[in-house]
Structure 1
C-alpha cells in the first residue's frame, strides 16, 4: 500500500464550482516518514485574477501565479504521482473534492484523513493541522524538512500531514500489519462518479 501526503491551496469555497487550485504539494510517505527527495510542489496559474482574501496566503498573488504552469500542464505529473495511491491529508475531503472537480482523471485508491483519525483517537484539544503539530511537538521538524515554506502553504502543510500520520499511528498503537484498519478508521467518505476512489477494504 503506497501512501502520499497531499495539500492544496485554493481560491476558496465561496467560488463554488469555479474554485481554482493555486498550489499543490505531494510528498510520498515511506516507512512512516516523508520522502523529501521525491516531494513535488508547484504553484498553479488559475488563468484569472484571484482577489486577496484572508485565507489566501500573501505569497499567492496574481503576479506570482501568472508565471506558474497551468493545471492542464501539471495534471499528468499529478496523475503519475497519485493514481493508485492512498492520499493522506488533514480534512482530506476538502482537498479531494477540489482535486476531483478539477482533475477527474486522477484515480487514487483511497483517502486517509488525519483529522478524522485524531478525533477518533481523542488526540489533542484543538485539531487544526498547526494545533496538532504543536501538540506532538513536530513544528521544528516540519520547518526543517519544508525549508522555505510556511504554515498554510502547500509544502509545509503536506510535510506536517506526513509527520502527523506517524505520530497518530504511534499514539493509537497502529503498526504496519494494522494499516488496513487505520485506513478504515480514518478514510474520508469517497465521492461518487468517475475517478472517485471506492471505499477501501481492510487489506487493500
Structure 2
C-alpha cells in the first residue's frame, strides 16, 4: 500500500477536548470528533461526534470551550459507553490531527486496547512547509489557506476549538499542505509518512475497567 497515492491511506481525522494536561493521569476527555477521509477528503456524512461525561464537575478554565459546561456534560454518555464505537472507527487506520500526539496521548490513556496504524500530524507537516513561520496553530493555518469558511460550512453551527470543527479543519488542511510541500506526482503513502508521521508511543500501563476499550 505504501507505494500507492497518499489518498488511498485509511485516514480518520481526530480531535479531542479535555480538561487539560495539568490534571496529569486524571485528565478527562470532554468531547471527541472523528472525520473519515475517503480519497483524502473529509466525509462529514459519516463523521462521529460526542460529548463525554467526565464523571466529575469541571472547573472553568480558559482553554475549555464555553459550550462544554457541567450541566451539558452531565447529560452526555460516559467514555466507556462510546468506547466500542471509537475502537470500530480507529483500529487499523491512520489517525490525523493537528499536534495529534497530544490527542493520542489522552485517548490512549483512556483506551489502552486501541491500535491505529499510525499518527499523521498536520502540525509537523506545516512546519516543514512553512519553516520560517512564527505560528502554526490550526486556526491560523486555516485562515492562511482560506479554509475557515469551508470548515464552518461542513460543520454548521460549529466553532473553532470544538472537537468536530477542529477535526474537519485538519482534514481540509492536509491536502493543501501536501500540495505546498511538493509538486511530485503521485505523492505516496510513503511520502506522507516520511513528511508527517509521528510516533505512536502507545501507553499500556493503565488497566482500570473504565480505561479499556471493549469490543
Same fold (TM over 0.5): yes
Correspondence for 2:199: 189
- Alpha carbons of structure 1 residues 9 and 145: separation in structure 2 relative to 1, 3 Å: same
Matches of 1:180 and 1:71, distance apart in 2: 34
Shift of 1:190: 2.0
Shift of 1:164: 0.6
> What secondary structure is seen at the aligned counterpart in 2 of 1:34?
coil
So what's the TM-score if we normalise by structure 1? 0.91
* Kept after mapping to 1: 8 A contact 2:118/2:199: no
Corresponding position: 1:47 with 2:22: no
Shift of 1:21: 0.2
Corresponding position: 1:166 with 2:161: no
Over 3 Å off, 4+ runs: 174-177, 192-195
Corresponding position: 1:56 with 2:64: yes
Correspondence for 2:209: none
- Alpha carbons of structure 1 residues 47 and 176: separation in structure 2 relative to 1, 3 Å: farther
> What secondary structure is seen at the aligned counterpart in 1 of 2:188?
helix
Q: How many residues align?
A: 195
* Kept after mapping to 2: 8 A contact 1:169/1:175: no
Matches of 1:26 and 1:176, distance apart in 2: 27
Matches of 1:157 and 1:14, distance apart in 2: 22
Higher relative contact order (CA 8 A, sep 6+): 2
Q: Return 5+ residue gaps in structure 2 as ranges.
A: 1-8, 206-215
Correspondence for 1:3: 11
Tell me the C-alpha RMSD between the 2 structures: 1.5
Corresponding position: 1:146 with 2:155: yes
Corresponding position: 1:76 with 2:68: no
Shift of 1:169: 1.1
> What secondary structure is seen at the aligned counterpart in 1 of 2:33?
strand
- Alpha carbons of structure 1 residues 22 and 176: separation in structure 2 relative to 1, 3 Å: farther
- Aligned match for 1:65, one of 62, 66, 73: 73
> What secondary structure is seen at the aligned counterpart in 1 of 2:37?
strand
Matches of 1:177 and 1:53, distance apart in 2: 41
So what's the TM-score if we normalise by structure 2? 0.87
- Alpha carbons of structure 1 residues 36 and 115: separation in structure 2 relative to 1, 3 Å: same
